[in-house]
Amino acid sequence: MNKIKVSTKNRILNAAEQLFCELGFDNTSLRNITSEANVNLASVNYHFGSKKQLIQDVLHRYLQVLMPQLEQGIDELIEAGDLSSEKLFNALVDPLMSLEQVRPNGTKIFVQLFARAYYESQGHLRKFITNQYGTSLKRLNKALHLAVPHLSTNEVFWRWHFALGSCVFTMASSKALSEIAAADYHQHMEIEDLIKKVIHYIAAGFSAPQPEKVRLVS
Amino acid sequence: MNKIKVSTKNRILNAAEQLFCELGFDNTSLRNITSEANVNLASVNYHFGSKKQLIQDVLHRYLQVLMPQLEQGIDELIEAGDLSSEKLFNALVDPLMSLEQVRPNGTKIFVQLFARAYYESQGHLRKFITNQYGTSLKRLNKALHLAVPHLSTNEVFWRWHFALGSCVFTMASSKALSEIAAADYHQHMEIEDLIKKVIHYIAAGFSAPQPEKVRLVS
DNA sequence: GTCTATAATCAGATAGAC
DNA sequence: GTCTATCTGATTATAGAC
C-alpha cells in the first residue's frame, strides 16, 4: 500500500461522493469532480464509462458493506421473535456506523448519498439498487410489518415512507441544519447522535395507534 | 372574463408549476415550459425577466393566499391557550385545502412545490420566502414551542425538521407513492386524506417524550 | 493511463423585426 | 406582445496524440 499515491480512480470516487453530498447528483458536473480531484476531465469516462456508472460505483462502495450486515441484523431480530419498531430501527444504527470503516465520515456521507439517491428520482439508480439489493429490502419490509402488527398493510407502507422522509430530508440538509442548530443552541451534533435522535422520533411515530379510518375511494 | 383565452402569462405560470412539481426546478427548462404552454420561448423573459423570478411568482400565487390564513389560525390557537401538537398541525389543514380555490389541485401542487423549494436549496427562494413571510414563520415557531412545553428548544428544532421532512418527502414523491399504493393495495388516496394521514403521524412523533440526553459536544 | 482538443447538445437570455 | 434567430456559456462524451 502506497500511502502517498491514491489511484486516479479512487481520487475521482472520493471527490465525487463529497460533491454529490453537497450539491446533489445533477448539480455536480464532471468538471467539478475532476478539478476537485486534480485529475483530467477525460479520466472519468476512461475509468467509469459514464456519469451514471460513476454514481452507481460511488454508492456501491457503501452498499456492499452495509447490506449484508443489515440483512443479518434483521434476520436475528426476526428469529428472536420479540420485534418492536424501536428495536428494529435501532438495529440499523450499528451497520450504518460501520461505514466509518469504508471512509472517514463514511456514515454521514452514505446517508446523505442515500437521501439524495432516493429523492432525486434517477431511474437508473432505483433500478440499480432494486436489482442489486432487492432481497435485503424485502427482508426489511417483512420485519417492519412484524414490528407493528396493530397497523394495516397500507398504514405501514405510508408510515415507512414518512419515516424515510424524515431521515432523507434531515440528512440531505444536515449540514445546513447542524450549522443553524450550532449557531442558535451552541451545540455540535455528531452523526451518531443525530441518527439516534431521528430514530427515537420515527420509532414513536411509526408505532402510533392506527388512526380512525379516513375516507378511501376504491 | 374571457373563458376561452388564457393570458400568455398565466399559461406560462400554469405549465411551469406543473413541470416544477414533476421534475423539480433545475430539471425543468424554459423550453420545456414554453412548449408545454404553447407559447414562445422569449415570452418567459418578456413577462418574468428571468427563470428565478418565474419560480418566485409561481410560489407567490399560493403563498399570498395561504400565509394570512395560517397566521390567523395560529394566532387564534395561541390566544385560546389550549395548544397541543395535534391541534396545531390540524390547524394547517384548512388553510392548505383552501388552495384548491387558487387552482384545480392547488393544494397538492403547492405542497409539492413547497417541498421542492425547501429541498432544492436555491438561495434566491429561501431568501424570497424569508423576506416575504418571515413574520408568519416566526409565529408558527412560537406556537410549536407552546404545543410541546416538555421538550427542549433544541429538541423542538430538530423534530420540526423531522416532521417537515416527512411532509416534504411524501409530497415530493406522492405521485410515485400513490401509484405504488394504488397498485399494491387498490386504494386511491386523495390529497386531503394524505395530509391527514401524515399529520396524524408527525403529531405523534413530535410530542413524544424528551429522549434521554445524548452525548453533546459544545 | 493520461493528456489536449473538440464534438454535440442543451441551457438561459437577448436583439430586433413585426 | 409575439416572433425568429442567435448569442454565450455550460454540460457530457469522445477521438487521437503521447
Which of A174, A187, A214, A215 is the best mutation test for B, with the most CBs of B within 10 A? A214
- The total number of residues written for chain B in this structure: 218
Closest by CA position to A16, among listed A43, A38, A45, A37: A37
CATH class of B62-206: mainly alpha
Residue to substitute from A145, A200, A213, interface B, most B β-carbons within 10 A: A200
Instruction: For residue B21, list chain A residues with Cβ-Cβ distance below 8 A.
Output: none
Q: How far is B3 from chain A (nearest CA, A)?
A: 32
The distance (Å) linking the CA of A31 with the C1' of D4 is 34
Residue B188 Cα, gap to closest chain A Cα (Å): 5
CB-based contacts of A131: which residues, under 8 Å, 6+ apart?
none
The answer on pLDDT for A53 being more than 70 is yes
pLDDT of residue A187: 74
| Alpha carbon A14 to its chain's center | 17
pLDDT of residue A2: 44
Spelled out in words, what is the top-level CATH class assigned to the domain A59-206?
Answer: mainly alpha
Closest CA to A27 of B127, B33, B121, B112: B121
Strands annotated E in B18-176? none
| pTM recorded for the entire structure | 0.89
By C1' distance from the Cα of B38, the closest nucleotide is: D2
CB contacts of B205 in chain A (<8 Å) are 166, 201-202, 204-205, 208
Distance B2 CA to C16 C1' (A): 32
- Which residues in chain B have their CB less than 8 angstroms from residue A202's CB? 162, 205
Tens-place pLDDT, residues A78-128: 999 889 999 999 999 999 999 999 999 999 899 889 888 877 766 788 888
Query: Distances in Å between the alpha carbon of B203 and those of A199, B70, B82?
Result: 16, 18, 16
> Straight-line distance from CA B23 to C1' D10, in Å?
20
What does pLDDT average to over chain A?
89
Query: Distance between CA atoms of A107 and B140, rounded to whole angstroms?
Result: 33
Mean pLDDT of B74-85: 92
